[in-house]
Amino acid sequence: MSEFYAALVTASHLILSLDPGLAEIVLLSLRVSLVAVGLAALIGMPLGAAIALYHFPGRSVLATLLSACMGLPPVVVGLVIYLLLSRSGPLGPLGLLFTPTAMIIAQCVLVTPIIAALTRQTITDLNEEYDEQFRAMGAGGLRKMRALLWDGRFSLVTAVLAGFGRASAEVGAVLIVGGNIDHVTRVMTTTIALETSKGNLALALALGLILIAISISVNAAAVSVRDVAYRRYR
């Protein structure tokens, strides 16, 4: 217990003194996860909406596949991307392995199915209410899809949030494709795993506290934005 207590004191000290090493890790983590989630939203939302609205062959297979991919094991995703990006792999010449870009790609692959599947559900539900009105107005295609995405924005915030939760907490994929290289690809989760195994509990705990704080505050902010907006637009 005293070990935990000592770790907590050191951790608080690291956080309060804005330790540069700690800050570097936190900022890289945020950068990787935010970019990954942003890209995943750009791909996943139109994809989910298209599956909800358009009838095409293989649509139900794709929808099932997407839901199944919500639970992809991160280490397997990491492994596959590692093979693609490794020097002898098809994307090897790009030289992306062990860079933050590789980590962004890995997280994006993990998060896109989550955002797409949740978007599909939201848009399907909304379309039940809106479809006849849109047909009466003569609205279809992209114009209809854009309006539905916009009108579903309160629920879609939750979808993006679920994606961010997955991205920021994930360790397996970024560890494999990033390599946990100091000052280059070291993020919060990989550092926690490494430092814990080295017995450096203070740094691990400090990062753990920050990770939890970020996750709580992002969620709280998103929920309150959604509530305020909902009260305003109903």
In the complex, the smallest distance separating the C-beta of residue 51 from another protein, rounded to whole angstroms, is 22
Task: Quote helix, strand, coil % in the chain, to nearest 5.
Answer: 80, 0, 20
**Of 24 and 129, which has the nearer Cβ to another protein?**
129
In the complex, the smallest distance separating the C-beta of residue 142 from another protein, rounded to whole angstroms, is 11
Between CA 140 and CA 142 the distance in angstroms is 7
Residues ≥6 apart with Cβ < 8 Å to 170: 74, 107, 110, 189
Considering only residues 122-151, where is the footprint of another protein by CB under 8 A?
Answer: 129-130, 132-133, 135-139, 143, 147, 150-151
**Is 178:103 a contact under the CB 8 Å cutoff?**
yes
Q: Residues 148-187: x/- map of binding to another protein (CB under 8 A)? A: --xx-x----------------------------------
234 touches another protein (CB under 8 A): yes
**Is 107:174 a contact under the CB 8 Å cutoff?**
yes
Q: How many residues bind another protein (CB under 8 A)?
A: 17
User: Closest by alpha carbon to 190, among 72, 182, 71?
Assistant: 182
**Of 156 and 202, which has the nearer Cβ to another protein?**
156
Considering only residues 24-83, where is the footprint of another protein by CB under 8 A?
Answer: none
User: Closest by alpha carbon to 67, among 43, 51, 90?
Assistant: 51
- Chain residues binding another protein by CB under 8 A are 129-130, 132-133, 135-139, 143, 147, 150-151, 153, 232-234
